[in-house]
Amino acid sequence: MTNDALKQLLEQRVQRDPSSVVTQEVVAVWTAEFGEQWAECEGNVVPSVMYTTFARPPSPPSAGEAAPTGLALHDQLKVLLDLPVAIAVGYELELRGVVHIGDQLVSEDRIADLGEERPTKFGPGRDWVIEVATSTLAGSPVGIERFRMLGYRPGEPGTPQPRKAQEPLEFAWEERFSVTTASIRREAAANHVWAPAHHHTAAAHKAGLADIIVDTSSQVARLAGAAQRHRANERILSVELAMKRSILPGATATLGGIEEDRTTRVSASVDGREVSQATVTFGS
């Protein structure tokens, strides 16, 4: 790796080809998994938090082909830094417009931040942020995604951080859902997420994971959907997701909501330990 090559990559802006047309069939598959009750869904408007589905390839890769992440600069950065594995540890979704049946979307990617190499519990790694801005083909803004990634080279792990005792939280409401191998694969497919770690156990093991894991978009849909059900008439403006531990097959996840003025904080826990948390901001 040269400093010039890295500098050029950090300065790049990559515009994706227009997405496939937004169809009711894809929306129906998604809502069958994550629910139909979304405040903005009137007429031919689709659930806002699912627009990212249409920015990804609609079908899995052919046999022998690598599954693209949909984030071109992310994939190039992994190669340039010799960090073959990367997982999402945080995610932000800022909603700026609506998407209708029949729309096509265009997205532009950039690397918004890159950290220094450091030891991680998986091996030597670095943190980075990929930002994806999406609009309709007609030019109307739709939303901005920010992926907080951890790339690493499986090997000697760093010193694990001591676990802190968690104070019990008082929730305004709770929901539960069961996680299975089939549900992880089905939800990832509904989101057009084809990364092997969400579909193939062998690929998950190669990445240092115990099994396939629930993908980021499915966590956003699950946690934001729970928040939406308790604020049925308010529209989601943004979602910020922090992922602390992987959600694996066999888990029963408990979602607990803490309501504030314009936000709902949704905590997901498994066996009494928080695995992820979303802050969902609402507007009228």
pLDDT digits over 53-94, tens only?
998 888 887 776 665 556 778 888 998 999 988 888 899 999
Residue 150 CB contacts under 8 Å (≥ 6 apart), including other chains:
86, 87, 88, 89, 120, 122, 125, 126, 127
The Cβ of residue 273 has, within 10 Å, a number of other Cβ atoms equal to: 10
Side chain identity, residue 60: P
Are 148 and 90 in contact, with CB atoms under 8 Å apart? yes
* Whole-number percent of the chain with pLDDT over 90: 75
Angle at 158 between CA 156 and CA 267, to 5 degrees: 120
Which residue, 281, 169, 194, is CA-closest to 231? 281
Alpha helices in 145-270 (DSSP H): 181-190, 201-206, 216-229
Mean pLDDT of 120-126: 90
Residue 47 CB contacts under 8 Å (≥ 6 apart), including other chains:
27, 30, 31, 34, 38, 40, 41
116: pLDDT strictly greater than 90: yes
40-53 pLDDT per residue, tens: 999 999 999 999 99
Residue 149 has what DSSP assignment?
Answer: E
Per-residue confidence band for 233, with pLDDT thresholds at 50, 70 and 90: very high
Which residue, 127, 247, 112, 261, is CA-closest to 178? 247
Tokens found for residue 143: 């939303």
209: pLDDT strictly greater than 60: yes
Q: What are the φ/ψ torsions at residue 143 (nearest 5 degrees)?
A: 180, 170
Are 240 and 92 in contact, with CB atoms under 8 Å apart? yes
Angle of helix 3-11 relative to helix 72-81, nearest 10 degrees, comes to 170
Given this model, what pLDDT does residue 59 score? 87
Handedness of CA 223, 192, 54, 146 (dihedral sign): positive
Which residue, 237, 236, 233, 239, is CA-closest to 266? 239
250-275 pLDDT per residue, tens: 999 999 999 999 999 999 999 999 99
235-250 pLDDT per residue, tens: 999 999 999 999 999 9
Q: Which CATH superfamily hosts domain 3-283?
A: Hotdog Thioesterase (3.10.129.10)
Mean pLDDT of 192-221: 93
